[in-house]
Structures are given as structure tokens and as C-alpha cells.
């Protein structure tokens, strides 16, 4: 019995809020120019931490980006990013849910972990501590500014609810929480939902902001962050031998996914085909991928197989490339295994060298970058690279973007806890050519 052909899914809209741009065109232009988003942290006083800098979103006005006071009442900082990026993606696609088809629209988001804002914790501390000891009677004090909205705001699925409400999505929905792999796995979950026939359209992406005393302190204790406080802009240097940790960033990225035939019928601009999804669990260390690249290898090979292509068809890899010693080494081992004899032909770069690591948003933002790379025939470059590492001897794009047609692009997201996500995007011309020859 012949296998049923997989439903083709088009990427027709992109929206971004990142440390180097509050929309997709600005982010893409600054990425090609090598602009760096890292600087001394401004949102709070980080001078007491071993890392005093981060890659923050700049000059973002949620009230301008999301002109809906009722929605913003329940939105955290990262929710504002998500609402703005999602609105841009829908506008870019030129399509949005209607009363007639809202049940055929789905939503898949990669979101950060449940957390509490530092200001909210401080309110509790001020009213419920006595000489450093917690006293619950303070919470019953009439002057305690109790606000149940705060509790709702910090639930891990709060962003999912806000997005469905804002855009009128009534179909399949899911919220993915797999650390740095969240955004990529959300996009992959959307692909699977569409192939199952649950949706004709999906809004898929990720958002996160851990630039607060709680997030910074946790990563500092893990020893995961770069401590190059005198040179924030040069601190994220993936695959460089002197790399010493990642730069914490924040932001959001969303894609509009659409049934290929429907997109063609309405004359939509198609960035790329979302063709393949792969996932694995490394089970090695909570902060590191295995040195031999075993977990990432599985995810990459699954994604290629799901897309119906081989390693010979890939021209660009947007690497996870966090700028940590073990993870960069592991990813390069995986790339050398998968691409074998042609590893020197495949362009590789980590755009975290400019944006920093956006955690749950990273995979979605980098998926969008792959689509833009395919559209424009440009591979972004790996910034801040100076000293080669023999363990990371892949074909890095250095010094400036490299032009050239990209038939297929691979996006890797390798998360804390061992979650690995790989996505494959294909050039629309490759898809049309295949159909014409079939």
C-alpha cells in the first residue's frame, strides 16, 4: 500500500521582536550588518552579579505595539513581545482568523517557564518578612497590595490564552515548555497538527524574557553566562576557541503557516516550505549536550527524513551555537556526522552572536531567519569569531553575509535538559520544481 503524501505547509508571514530590532525587517537588516544587541543591563541594577550585561529588547512600547489596554493588563513583558510579533506575522501574511474559519486556525507557542516578576516578589518581601524571617500574617495586612491578576500573568500558559483571545483563534492550541528548544518544537508541533488535518492555518512561534534578577542569578550559578563585562558586544562568540558562555537575551518570533494549496490559490507570498521536524532527548547532562553529538544527530536526521530530503540538499544551517564550550562542540560533532564528506560545503552560522540567546524564543526567531535567508539567498554571518577551535571546524560564514541560493535550510535548537529540535525549510522554487517534474 502506497504511503499517503504529506501535506505541504507554507510559511507566509513573519513577525519578530528581538534585541536588534522590534520588527522583522529591522532585525533582518541589522543581522546582515552584524549589529550586536548586548550591552550593560538597563532594566534593573545587575552590578552585583558576575554577569552585568544582557541582550535586551530596546525602546519597546507595549501600548503602541499592542493598542489593547484590556489585553496588556494581563500581559507580562514577554507577552507584549509575543502579541506584537504575532500581529506583525499576521499582517505580513495578509490573512487572519475570521468568524467563519477561526476553528480552522491553530496556535502553537514556545514559552518560558512559570516565573514571578522581581517587583511582585519584592512586594511580598516588604509585607511578609520580619528581620529576614517570613511571616504570613503580613499578607493579611490591609496595606498589602494583593492583586490576583499578577498570579494569572505568570502562569506558563498565560501567553497562549492572551494570543488566542487577541486574534480570535478557536482551533488546536498548545504551549511547549522545553527550555531553549521550546520555540523550535512549537513550530514543529504546528507542522504536525496541520499534517493531521486539524488546521488549515497556524500561528506558531515562541517568546521569553528572563532578564531579571531571578533569571540572571540562576544562569550565573550554573556558570552558563559569559562574564566578559568589559566587552558585552563581543561576548557571544559561537564556535570561537575562547568562548566562555552565552549572552542572555529576550524577544519573540512568530510564523504564519498555511496549507500550501490555499496559499498558492490566494496568491500569497511564500517564504519557504516548512518541510521537516525532528526531536530527540539527549539525557546527558542538564546543561550540556553529549560530546559525540548523539542527541542532536537524531533530531537532525529525523528532520531531514521527515522533509524527504538528504544531507546533500541542505545549503545552510542556522546553528544553535550558544557560545558555550560543550554545546558548540557537541553540535559541530553532530554536523560533521550528518554532513560527513560535504560538511565543508554547508554554510553554518549562529545568529546568537548578534541577538544573544532568547531561550524559549530562540528556535522560533531562528526559524524565521532561515526563511528570510531562503527568500533573499543570503546566509548570515557568525559574528565575533577570532580564534579557531579544532573541535568546531565546520564551514562557518565569517566577516560578512554570504550570498547564494539556498535550496534547504536547517535550524537547530538544543535545550537545557537535553531537548533537541531540528527544523527543515525548503526553497519554494525547489518545491515547485519537484512538483513540475513529478
Q: Decide the pairing of beta strands 201-209 and 250-259.
A: antiparallel
Is 2 a member of any domain?
no
359 contacts 225 by C-beta, under 8 angstroms: no
Does residue 357 have an active-site annotation?
Answer: yes
Dihedral angle over CA of 76, 44, 136, 148, nearest 10: -10
Distances (CA, A) of 133 to 116, 118, 124, 320, 341: 20, 18, 12, 43, 63
Domain membership flag for residue 242: yes
Residues 238, 350 contacting (CB under 8 angstroms): yes
Please count the other Cβ atoms lying within 10 Å of the Cβ belonging to residue 391.
15
- Looking at the domain assignment, is residue 3 inside a domain? no
CATH number at residue 266: 3.40.47.10
222 and 302 part of one domain: yes
Full residue range of the structural domain in which residue 207 is found:
9-115+154-437
- Specify if 178 maps to a domain: yes
Domain count for the chain: 2
Please give the pLDDT value at position 4: 61
Residues 210 and 266 in one domain: yes
| 188 plus 215 within the same structural domain | yes
- In this prediction, residue 323 carries a pLDDT of 98
Is 264 in the same domain as 176?
yes
> Is 168 found in the same domain as 257?
yes
Give the pLDDT of residue 397. Answer: 98
Residue that finishes a domain, picked among 150, 171, 204 = 150
Question: What's residue 50's pLDDT?
Answer: 97
How high is the pLDDT of residue 2? 41
> Is 364 within the bounds of a domain?
yes
**180 in catalytic set:** yes
Q: Is 105 inside a domain boundary?
A: yes
At 432 the pLDDT is 66
From first CA to last CA, the distance across the chain in angstroms is: 19
Classify residue 144 by burial, with Cβ atoms within 10 Å: 0-12, 13-18, 19+: middle
- Do residue 233 and residue 287 come from a single domain? yes
Give yes or no: residues 265 and 369 share one domain. yes
32 and 175 share one domain: yes
Q: Is 320 a catalytic residue?
A: yes
79, 177, 320, 332: which is the annotated catalytic residue?
Answer: 320
- Are 316 and 424 in the same domain? yes
* Cβ neighbour number for residue 307 with a 10 Å cutoff: 24
Rounded Cα distance between 261 and 259, Å, is 6
348 and 268 share one domain: yes
Q: Are residues 124 and 262 in the same domain?
A: no
Taking the chain (438 residues) in runs of 10, the rounded mean pLDDT of each run is 74 98 98 98 96 98 90 91 98 97 97 74 77 74 74 83 96 95 98 97 97 92 96 98 98 98 98 98 82 95 98 98 96 98 97 98 98 98 98 98 98 92 95 59
pLDDT for position 351 = 98
The answer to whether residue 132 sits within a structural domain is yes
For residues 81 and 200, membership in a common domain is answered with yes
* Position 4 in a domain: no
- The dihedral built from the CA positions of residue 428, 94, 168 and 98, taken in this order, carries a sign that is negative
Amino acid at each position: 500500500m502506497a504511503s499517503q503524501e504529506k501535506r505541504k505547509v507554507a510559511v507566509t508571514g513573519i513577525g519578530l521582536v528581538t534585541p536588534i530590532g522590534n520588527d522583522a525587517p529591522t532585525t533582518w537588516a541589522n543581522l546582515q550588518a552584524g549589529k550586536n544587541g548586548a550591552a550593560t543591563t538597563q532594566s534593573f541594577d545587575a552590578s552585583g552579579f558576575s554577569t552585568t550585561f544582557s541582550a535586551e529588547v530596546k525602546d519597546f512600547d507595549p501600548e503602541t505595539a499592542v493598542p489593547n489596554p484590556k489585553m496588556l493588563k494581563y500581559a507580562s513583558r514577554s507577552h507584549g513581545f509575543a502579541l506584537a510579533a504575532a500581529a506583525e506575522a499576521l499582517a505580513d501574511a495578509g490573512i487572519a482568523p475570521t468568524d467563519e474559519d477561526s476553528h480552522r486556525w491553530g496556535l502553537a507557542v514556545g514559552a518560558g517557564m512559570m516565573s514571578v516578576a522581581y517587583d511582585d516578589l519584592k512586594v511580598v518581601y516588604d509585607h511578609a518578612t520580619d528581620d529576614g524571617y517570613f511571616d504570613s500574617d503580613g499578607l493579611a495586612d490591609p496595606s498589602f497590595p494583593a492583586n490576583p491578576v499578577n498570579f494569572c500573568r505568570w502562569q506558563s500558559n498565560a501567553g497562549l490564552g492572551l494570543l488566542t483571545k487577541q486574534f480570535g483563534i478557536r482551533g488546536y492550541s498548545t504551549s511547549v515548555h522545553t527550555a531553549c528548544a521550546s520555540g523550535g518544537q512549537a513550530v514543529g508541533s504546528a507542522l504536525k497538527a496541520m499534517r493531521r488535518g486539524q488546521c488549515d492555518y497556524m500561528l506558531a512561534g515562541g517568546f521569553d524574557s528572563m532578564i531579571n534578577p531571578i533569571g540572571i542569578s540562576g544562569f550565573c550559578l550554573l556558570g552558563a553566562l559569559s562574564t566578559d563585562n568589559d566587552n558585552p558586544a563581543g561576548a557571544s562568540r559561537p564556535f570561537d576557541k575562547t568562548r566562555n558562555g552565552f549572552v542572555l537575551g529576550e524577544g519573540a518570533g512568530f510564523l504564519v503557516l498555511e496549507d500550501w494549496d490555499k496559499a498558492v490559490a490566494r496568491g500569497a507570498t511564500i517564504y519557504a516550505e516548512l518541510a521537516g521536524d525532528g526531536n530527540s532527548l539527549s539525557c546527558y547532562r542538564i546543561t550540556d549536550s553529549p560530546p559525540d553529538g548523539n542527541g542532536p544527530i537524531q533530531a537532525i536526521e529525523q528532520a531531514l527524513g521527515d522533509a524527504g530530503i538528504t544531507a546533500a540538499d541542505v545549503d545552510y544551517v542556522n546553528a544553535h551555537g550558544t557560545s558555550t564550550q560543550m554545546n558548540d562542540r557537541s553540535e559541530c560533532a553532530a554536523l560533521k556526522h550528518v554532513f560527513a564528506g560535504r560538511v565543508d560545503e554547508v554554510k553554518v552560522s549562529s545568529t546568537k552572536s548578534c541577538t544573544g540567546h532568547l531561550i524559549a524564543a530562540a528556535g522560533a526567531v531562528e526559524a524565521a531567519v532561515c526563511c528570510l535567508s531562503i527568500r533573499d539567498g543570503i546566509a548570515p554571518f557568525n559574528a565575533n569569531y577570532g580564534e579557531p577551535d579544532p573541535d568546531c571546524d565546520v564551514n562557518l560564514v565569517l566577516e560578512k553575509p554570504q550570498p547564494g541560493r539556498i535550496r534547504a535550510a536547517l535550524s537547530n535548537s538544543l535545550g537545557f535538559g537535553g531537548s533537541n529540535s531540528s527544523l527543515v525549510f525548503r526553497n519554494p522554487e525547489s518545491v515547485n520544481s519537484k512538483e513540475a517534474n513529478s
